[in-house]
Structure 1
Amino acid sequence: MGALQRLSAAVNAYIGNPDPRVALANSVSVLVASNQPFYPLYLWWFVGGNITPAFYTFLSTPFFLAVPAIARVNSAAGRGLLPVTGIANTLLCARLFGVQSGVEIFLIPCAVLALLIFRSRERILSLALAGACFAAFLFLHGRYGEPVVSYSADEYAALVRLNVMSASALTALVAIMFSRLLAECEVSAKATGSEKAR
């Protein structure tokens, strides 16, 4: 087995979980963490200007990576850590780059995740986390003070495009993964029903 195959097997073992909702949260958390090192590169390529503040986003990487480990100890806590870390990272970016960057749009996939990765009996936690996303926008938008770095109008326009595309892609990916989860549950339910009918 090659090094790449061993790495892939290790990652799959780390994010794997018999609970499909936990597995979904684990997959998203590791996907986000694995993309974070490339964010400064994206920023440099698509926007230009000062990319130094982008390195502060790495502060959230250990928390994203910890989601699967914590979920093994406490399922709800592990899943809850994903949107909480996403919200915190979004607020940090809003402080670093300013609301002109459009980075607050990442609160949308955070809210979507909060609504999808919890069961009906965990609805209070789910709604609380989704509500935190809306509250963060309603009460903090325009109150971050001057951004750490400022860009030209053209650079801000490029940064908005980058953030909109990234948040949209993440939201779409979560929706696709959840639809697959539902499809698997339907197949499992039909199989169980067929066995009972025999």
Structure 2
Amino acid sequence: MPVEAWRRPFAAVGRYAAHREPRAAIANTVALVVASNQPFYPLYVGWLVSPVIWPSFLTFLSTPLFVAVPFAMRRDSRLGRSLLLFAGIGNTLLCRLAFGAGSGVEVFLLPCLMLAMLLFAGRERVLALGFGALCFAAYAVPVAAVMAPLHFYRIEDYAALERLNFLSAASLTGLIGWLFARASPDLPPQEETETGRRA
């Protein structure tokens, strides 16, 4: 297959993720990276944890939300950034309920918390604090009292799942930090994030 045929899809994704606001562009990139990795999560669970992978299919419920982030961002930057955080926090909470507290899946709240603090600036800081509080609230949900896990794994399986989730969340956190470090010249600390503008 010609190289040009491979470049076209990536170019289309790049155009879809592009935005003139640096924070919005970073949020778009993170959303599409998460969406593109979600189909592989059940494979990682099957390879590294257990052949029982069907509880991980719940992660697909949030995939359309992540994919829709750049579309929402073009309508309203604040809406798009908020959608990314709702999708991330909601997906983490859903997986926490599905797998149980022993899975360590709540570690994905850390990149959500990091995004909350970095995606909103100036007068939008109240949103940063609100989403930060939502991360802590999601962690505080007593999952064992709400519902039993969809499947009870062995102790060693939970340990492997916890390692998998830690490595995945750490990689995502590192990516977020790298993207913001690259964009730092365009992100002065007191920048007033524009809202309501179309890209």
* TM-score normalised per structure 1: 0.90
Q: Which residue of 2 aligns with 1:159?
A: 161
Give the 3 Å change call, closer, same or farther, for CA 143–104 of structure 1 in structure 2: farther
Mapping of 1:75-90 within 5 angstroms? Answer: 75-90=77-92
Whether 2:93 is the aligned partner of 1:91: answer yes
Of 115, 127, 144, the residue aligned with 2:146 is 144
Q: Which of residues 42, 45, 51 is equivalent to 1:43?
A: 45
Partner in structure 2 of residue 60 of structure 1: 62
Larger helix percent? 1
Q: Is the deviation greater in 171-180 or in 9-18?
A: 171-180
Larger Rg: 1
* CA–CA separation in structure 1 for the residues paired with 2:146 and 2:175: 30
Could you tell me whether the CA contact under 8 Å between 1:49 and 1:151 is conserved in 2?
no
- Partners of 1:185 and 1:124 lie apart in 2 by 18
Residues in 2 aligned to 1:81 and 1:165: alpha-carbon distance in whole angstroms: 24
Percent of pairs identical after alignment?
Answer: 48
Q: Name the structure 1 match of 2:26.
A: 24
**Whose RCO is larger (CA < 8 A, sep 6+)?**
2
Q: 2:111 aligns with which of 105, 109, 112?
A: 109
Q: Which residue of 2 aligns with 1:183?
A: 185
Displacement of 1:185 in angstroms is 4.7
Measure the CA separation in 2 of the matches of 1:40 and 1:13: 29
- Residue 173 of structure 2: which of 163, 171, 174 is its match? 171
Structure 1 residues 149 and 33: alpha-carbon distance in aligned structure 2, compared to 1, 3 A threshold: same
Q: Which runs of 5+ in 2 are unaligned?
A: 189-199
- Classify 1:141/1:55 alpha carbon distance in 2 versus 1 (closer, same or farther; 3 Å): closer
**Cα shift at 1:120:** 1.7
Q: Contact 2:22 / 2:186 at 8 angstroms: preserved in 1?
A: no
**Cα offset, 1:184, TM superposition:** 4.5
Matched residue SS, 1:129: helix
Alpha-carbon distance in 1 for matches of 2:87, 2:186: 28
**Structure 2 CA distance for aligned equivalents of residues 142 and 134 of structure 1:** 17
Q: How do 1:5-24 and structure 2 match up within 5 A?
A: 5-24=7-26
Q: One-letter code of the match for 1:73? A: R
The alignment's TM-score, normalised by the length of structure 2, stands at 0.89
Q: Residue 118 of structure 1 aligns with which residue?
A: 120
Give the count of matched residue pairs. 186
Measure, in 2, the Cα distance between the counterparts of 1:116 and 1:143: 33
2:35 alignment partner in structure 1? 33
Give yes or no for the alignment of 1:71 onto 2:70. no
Amino acid at match of 1:43: V
CA distance in 1, matches of 2:139, 2:56: 21
